Structure 1
Amino acid sequence: MTFTTRPELRGTFGAVSSTHWLASTVGMSILEKGHTAFDAAVAAGFVLQVVEPHLNGPGGEVPIIVTPAGADKPTVISGQGPSPAKATVQHFKDLGLDIIPGTGLLAACIPGAFGAWLTLLRDYGTADLEDVLAPAIYYAKNGHPLVPRIANTIASMRELFETHWPSSAELYLPGGRAPQSGKLFRNPQVATLYQQILDQTKSAKGREVRIEAALDFWYRGPVAERIEDYCATEEVWDVSGRRHKGLITAQDMADYKPLIETPASVAYGDFEVFKCGAWSQGPVLLQMLQILKGTDIADLDPMGADFVHLVVETAKLAMADREAWYGDSSDVPLETLLSSRYADGRRALISGTASMDVRPGSPDGRIPSLPPLRTVGTIPQPGLGGGEPTVAREPKLPNDKEGEPALTREGAQRGDTVQVSAVDRWGNMVSATPSGGWFQSSPVIQGLGFSLTTRGQMFWLEEGLNSTLMPSKRPRTTLTPSTVFRDGRPYMAFGTPGGDQQDQWQLIMLLRHIHKGMNLQETIDAPSFHTDHLPSSFWPREISFGALTLESRFSSAVQEELAARGHKITVGDAWSEGRLAAVAREMDGETQLVKAGANPRGVQGYAVAR
């Protein structure tokens, strides 16, 4: 019998699963009012910005996969904002930088989350703007109980806030003290901003007109003007050990609109899996599925060494292709990368021992180029880095290279991501993975109450890559929601935080669900793992050759066998890998059955279904 912490929730009316119980319950309240899964996701998304500010914020981004009931395929709303028009490789070279800092203002991209959420609301939803903003305003104004992880993260940032980012200290250290876990925390600036948007748009006639007015307020009005002024006048300390101004202008903001795109997909048995395009890392999951089709993965013990080894070696190959080929570029050979013939050649590279090489392929005979492979520990780290670490291992950072005291305590937590998935009574489904704008990333902009995303750290400053920095280009993000069809019908929407690990954890969940019949909660609860044998997408962009992190619930025999195959094992905490959130639907005769599961790790993710 498979152990689970909770039952898989089942019902007929609808389900919402997210990384925080308040967002999930708010989403369900929207469904209860007669609105759609799309409206529920938008309301939950705005609440997540308030209640998980160390993982996402109003100044962040969100890719969304939208599946209207009866659709033959989903649609992608790309809420990944591009780089500013002034962002060039030469600009960074002139500053003496060979890598984009992970914090501060230089890595700031256009905040795309607001535009993407309102595009989803306008084009697919039924709720009014006030319906989806009211819960976020309530929690920002009246307070929400801080989970321990947020309180600890604020405490770890205290010295940095007080020394270099006073606007963050003003908000997150009320009365000069770090807030306590379990106590109410408020963000009155965000509450005021969202209420101001409602007040400024209430006279507009019609739901869609009000939404358009809100978009204008954000991207062509006061919010854009304030962001431009902040970037132009403030010199902000970042992980380079120096102060820099930002590059975003009001024109950059005005030029932004979320792109509406067709997803990439591959068939896997009776299933078809849909992901965002190669501006995300989403096709990595699709490449891994293509490689695994020609293996005995279905017959392997999903908690055994053979399963772990095969998945990890497959991930190494797909991630190598990510580094060589992915990016916001028309030059990505995605059709070939996702083809069965290409997968056959990649599969042949897998052996019984752990590979220590980074081996991108040559789609269409093209010669791959790789960014620098910086081994972990070789790059000086002055202060807090900008990346999304695994849950299992948090960074321990040395003193500043210029001799300043370390600006964080050991174990300081970096920014990460959140997830919301929803399905309604009509069969509409949505998966969204919001991130960016964490309070660890850059200072709070006074008057707005939020930080800017530093997703630009995912660009390379080396020329010739599809992920090389260019003006007005999307960084190749790690954010990667998923949607699955079964027998040609919408079946499941899911995703997870976790940076480079997102598609690894989603693959493990999907394989166990498809091949072993484990339900959503069982697959989420089962022991998981990941490899860091890939150039990190986050500053300082390091790689850990052969690294494999396992939750301690894997048996010692499995750990020993994997080590014998050459994997460099790190054993994480028993419940430390991933924060998956999933919903699914299927028909029972003429009636829809909905299902949901949520991650127990971190003790804050919950699903709601009825």
Structure 2
Amino acid sequence: MSFVTPDPFTTRPEIDGTFGVVASTHWIATAVGMGVLERGGNAFDAGVATAFVLQVVEPHLNGPGGDVPVILHDVRVGRPQVVCGQGPAPQAATIARLRDDLGLDLVPGTGLLAPCVPGSFDAYMLILRDHGTWRLADVLEAAIGYARDGYPLVERVSATIATVEGLFREHWPSSAATYLKDGGVPAPGSLFTNPALAETYARIVRESASGTREEEIERARRIWSQGFVAEAIDAFCRTQAVMDVTGRAHKGLLTGADMAAWQASVEEPISYEYGRYTVLKAGPWTQGLATLQQLALLKGFSLDGLDPAGPDFIHLQVECAKLAFADRDTFYGDPAFVGVPVETLLSDSYNAERRRLVGETASLEQRPGTIPGYGKALDARVSEGARTAVGASGAGEPTVGKIEATKIRATVPPDDARAGVVRGDTVHFDIIDRHGNMMTATPSGGWLQSSPVIPALGFCLGTRAQMFVLDEDHPAALAPGKRPRSTLSPTMALRDGQPYLAWGSPGGDQQDQWIPQFFLRHVHAGMNLQESIDAPAWHTEHFPSSFWPRTARPGVVVVEDRIAPETIAELRRRGHIVEVGSNWSEGRLTAASRDGRRLRAAANPRGMQAYAAGR
């Protein structure tokens, strides 16, 4: 194999050791996870402790009311498994209720109509019970301490609070009481506390304490889903009418009965063989399959020797991403409710046919495949700011074969009613211990800007239901008890049959663009983990966003300005609509690997908060 010699410059060293490694999107969480390993905990003890700390220190990116998919490898089990911490839609969340009764064509992106059952807590308890060794009090100690005693705010938390300050003051007083300290937006670097959240977790610890470790964990799960937590959520959703992006106030749909009826579950990952690697993802209730589809398409091109920041490499990856995401928006959904043709989507014959669509110039169409009996395409709204060649109407005619298209629209209220229209993001962590246990997770939802704080609990609910479609015939259609097609997408890979690499990134629809870019740089350009993260990156906004108001920007590719000017010029010559961002603006990847006894880790320098640690 020949490959381009990478630039040896990185922002920081690749962590290398034999004892254990932790990489996360916040340095405090990384330190806590590493501390657990140092004190004798395994990767799963460290992962659960890391996850709860991330809820505290990055409340604009995830929270207790959110959700999480996890991929783990327990050496005692002997194979990777997926833990589903994605809660389903409430029983009252029907298409008829939102579309016919409330007159909506999309699930709102904020407020109380969009929460699903909060899934992360039960998922972490399941992992701790079945794979961990620590007691609940020990795992929650750091999160409780930081929420009670304070942690330094990163700049993006303050900036996010500033964007919703008016909404908090006028419509969400409980959020104002929590986040507008001393009557204003807290300054970056100031110590911030959330005593109500600290007490919520402390109370769970107190009320669950007695008996064996496993009995405590099971009691905590019941307290969450049937005790005071579920009771507070139920009461808030029944009694509070909350302003959302529609410009109207709505009461919630989530109930205590919904909370009590759901538990996290374990399932097998889906996989794709790419050379000596087996790449693993959660099922099609996430968008992770889009990475595997890109690899299935790209396997037919010669990537060895290509400059991993050059025009040929970028063009091929972007065009294959467009095809994969067109299929995402056509075929993916909760496999407990709809058939998803995973085997066909990853088959050699299907991808040979799809690969012929990748030409020398950029496509400006949405081009999902055709699989008889499956799928329904989306005809997305085109953003007014997109400079495209799709016609004066602003909406191109997608190439959908024989698949009928579903229109995506949005009821857009007046500007003065749209305060707080901001998109949340996500966190990520990867951990490997000296025994070879591995855990990779992408927690999200329950953002401070997504819905009001429930005063009795100190946290807000998530808005993952905005990813459903209000069309009964679509695979991602809203239905009670159904999981939304999430953007959350951790990744694990085997090399020569052995667990080797865990990685992922925040970023919504961009996750499964930055994830394959990292992997391809590592595999085809010989870059180490840190080099693969630090390298210039990009993403396309060609396809419909998964977030309200679900717009698309056909042909648009956003690149860091570290991409060479001649590369940008060549991409434009090929028909890409290239927008140039700042130097370090694309991706928030972290990664960890195991090669025999050698453990390595790396974390993204962008945003100046992610760190890897290990020895």
Superposition pairs of residues 143-222 of structure 1, within 5 angstroms: 143-202=150-209, 204-222=210-228
Q: Which runs of 5+ in 1 are unaligned?
A: 380-399
Give the distance between the partners of 1:9 and 1:205, measured in 2 at CA.
40
SS class of match (1:299): coil
Q: How far apart are residue 403 of structure 1 and its match?
A: 5.9
Q: 2:464 aligns with which of 450, 455, 470?
A: 455
Q: 1:333 aligns with which of 329, 334, 341?
A: 341
In structure 2, the residue matched to 1:404 is 416
Give the distance between the partners of 1:488 and 1:477, measured in 2 at CA.
28
Give the counterpart letter for 1:97 in structure 2: L
Q: 1:469 aligns with which of 478, 503, 507?
A: 478
Q: 1:259 aligns with which of 234, 252, 265?
A: 265
Give the counterpart letter for 2:155 in structure 1: P
Moved over 6 A (4+): none
Q: Which runs of 5+ in 2 are unaligned?
A: 1-6, 387-411
Give the distance between the partners of 2:442 and 2:512, measured in 1 at CA.
12
Give the counterpart letter for 1:487 in structure 2: D
2:588 corresponds to 1:579: yes
Give the distance between the partners of 2:586 and 2:580, measured in 1 at CA.
11
Q: 1:446–1:186: structure 2 CA closer, same or farther, 3 Å change rule?
A: same
Q: 1:525 aligns with which of 530, 534, 548?
A: 534
Give the distance between the partners of 2:373 and 2:339, measured in 1 at CA.
11
Do the aligned partners of 2:452 and 2:460 also contact (CA within 8 Å) in 1? yes
Give the counterpart letter for 1:337 in structure 2: L
2:610 corresponds to 1:605: yes
Superposition pairs of residues 478-557 of structure 1, within 5 angstroms: 478-557=487-566
In structure 1, the residue matched to 2:139 is 132
Give the distance between the partners of 2:418 and 2:94, measured in 1 at CA.
30
Give the distance between the partners of 1:366 and 1:298, measured in 2 at CA.
38
Give the distance between the partners of 1:436 and 1:147, measured in 2 at CA.
18
1:161-201 deviations in whole A, cap 9, x for unaligned? 00110000000012211111111000000100111011111
Give the distance between the partners of 2:465 and 2:199, measured in 1 at CA.
28
Give the distance between the partners of 1:2 and 1:518, measured in 2 at CA.
9
Give the distance between the partners of 1:405 and 1:334, measured in 2 at CA.
41
In structure 1, the residue matched to 2:321 is 315
In structure 2, the residue matched to 1:100 is 107
SS class of match (1:266): strand
Give the counterpart letter for 1:608 in structure 2: A
Do the aligned partners of 1:371 and 1:460 also contact (CA within 8 Å) in 2? no
SS class of match (2:368): coil
Q: 1:71–1:304: structure 2 CA closer, same or farther, 3 Å change rule?
A: farther
Give the counterpart letter for 2:217 in structure 1: I
SS class of match (2:377): coil
SS class of match (2:600): strand
In structure 2, the residue matched to 1:295 is 301
Do the aligned partners of 2:423 and 2:547 also contact (CA within 8 Å) in 1? no
Superposition pairs of residues 36-435 of structure 1, within 5 angstroms: 36-69=42-75, 72-93=78-99, 94-202=101-209, 204-329=210-335, 330-363=338-371, 365-366=372-373, 368-377=375-384, 401-402=413-414, 404=416, 407=419, 414-435=423-444
**Mean CA deviation greater in 215-224 or 67-76:** 67-76
Give the distance between the partners of 1:80 and 1:542, measured in 2 at CA.
24
**Mean CA deviation greater in 504-513 or 368-377:** 368-377
SS class of match (2:506): coil
SS class of match (2:462): coil
Do the aligned partners of 1:361 and 1:368 also contact (CA within 8 Å) in 2? no
Give the distance between the partners of 2:430 and 2:414, measured in 1 at CA.
45
Give the distance between the partners of 2:305 and 2:275, measured in 1 at CA.
15
1:40-93 deviations in whole A, cap 9, x for unaligned? 110000000000000000100010001112755310000001000111100002
Q: How far apart are residue 406 of structure 1 and its match?
A: 6.0
Q: 1:179–1:331: structure 2 CA closer, same or farther, 3 Å change rule?
A: same
Do the aligned partners of 1:533 and 1:544 also contact (CA within 8 Å) in 2? yes
Q: 1:235–1:223: structure 2 CA closer, same or farther, 3 Å change rule?
A: same
SS class of match (2:164): helix
Q: How far apart are residue 149 of structure 1 and its match?
A: 1.0
Give the counterpart letter for 1:96 in structure 2: G
TM score, norm. by length of structure 2 = 0.93
Q: 1:526–1:217: structure 2 CA closer, same or farther, 3 Å change rule?
A: same
Q: How far apart are residue 404 of structure 1 and its match?
A: 2.5
SS class of match (2:257): helix
Q: 1:272–1:490: structure 2 CA closer, same or farther, 3 Å change rule?
A: same
CA RMSD of aligned residues (A): 1.4
Q: 2:446 aligns with which of 437, 442, 464?
A: 437
In structure 2, the residue matched to 1:594 is 599
Give the counterpart letter for 2:277 in structure 1: F
1:295-319 deviations in whole A, cap 9, x for unaligned? 1122311110000000000000000
Do the aligned partners of 2:340 and 2:374 also contact (CA within 8 Å) in 1? no
TM score, norm. by length of structure 1 = 0.94
Q: How far apart are residue 373 of structure 1 and its match?
A: 1.1
Give the distance between the partners of 1:403 and 1:451, measured in 2 at CA.
24
Q: How far apart are residue 368 of structure 1 and its match?
A: 4.3
SS class of match (1:298): coil
In structure 2, the residue matched to 1:32 is 38
**Mean CA deviation greater in 25-34 or 296-305:** 296-305
Aligned-residue sequence identity (percent) comes to 52
2:570 corresponds to 1:561: yes
SS class of match (2:516): helix
**Mean CA deviation greater in 367-376 or 313-322:** 367-376
Q: 2:27 aligns with which of 21, 28, 34?
A: 21
Give the counterpart letter for 2:530 in structure 1: Q
Give the distance between the partners of 1:532 and 1:63, measured in 2 at CA.
24
SS class of match (1:23): helix
Q: How far apart are residue 371 of structure 1 and its match?
A: 2.3
Give the distance between the partners of 2:470 and 2:489, measured in 1 at CA.
23
2:582 corresponds to 1:570: no
